[in-house]
Amino acid sequence: MPPTPRQRAREAAVDDIKRIARRQLAEGGAGALSLREIAKEMGLVSSAVYRYVPSRDALLTALISDAYDRLGATAEAADAELERDDLAGRWTALAGALRDWARAHPTDYTLVYGPPLPGYEAPPETYAPAQRWFEILIDVLRAGSDEPDPEDPVLCAQLAAVRDRRSPGAPLGGIAAGLAAWAQLHGLVALEIHGQTDFVLGSGAELFGHCVERQVRELGLRAGR
């Protein structure tokens, strides 16, 4: 059954609310999210938003959950365009998708990977979508690399736990190198969207590309065919 006009209007209103809310977050941080201001911008009286959103906190939760979802979807779309065995291409695409998405939506990136919002506890239902980008990364890593296993026994135990949960059979050295690369990608992206690479280099694109190339080489990821 198709949605009734009322349902469509309702969904459109909720989308409007979220759109304005995201803009508020982008412009003024979490403290700037204001239901009253949203109502005003929509030409509604302040209490009317409560027809669409139960509370300010619930709206924030929805926005965070959406952000996870969008990053995951972007990553999956980028990954799906490539041959399964083109590991180098897939890694490069995933890294690029992360950077592009973060630059296009810095606020959402900060919601997902940045400092946790004070007084806000992520509800359990956001855990699974939170990990989609990471899942694909681990999937690509499954090919392994020829890095030697780390010596630290504590680290090896931690890595073994990650491996057993996500990627049985992969060598520990590869997992370690993958996590190291993951942290590097995050560092590059975070520094760039916070303006630190601009300050040092003028543009973050080239250093990012360079690092991704090195990662592909170091992780032993091969192009398919």
Partner DNA sequence: TGTACATCAGTGAACGCGCGTTCACTGATGTAC
Of these, 77, 128, 183, 222, which contacts its own copies (CB under 8 A)? 183
The answer to whether 206 contacts its own copies (rule: CB under 8 A) is yes
224 binds, among its own copies, DNA, none (CB under 5 to 8 A by kind): none
30 binds, among its own copies, DNA, none (CB under 5 to 8 A by kind): its own copies
Identity of the residue, 10 or 126, whose beta carbon is nearer to its own copies in the bound complex:
126
Identity of the residue, 112 or 221, whose beta carbon is nearer to its own copies in the bound complex:
112
Identity of the residue, 86 or 147, whose beta carbon is nearer to its own copies in the bound complex:
147
User: Among residue numbers 89 through 148, which ones bind its own copies (CB under 8 A)?
Assistant: 106, 110, 113-119, 134
Identity of the residue, 45 or 200, whose beta carbon is nearer to DNA in the bound complex:
45
In the chain, the amino acid numbered 24 is: Q
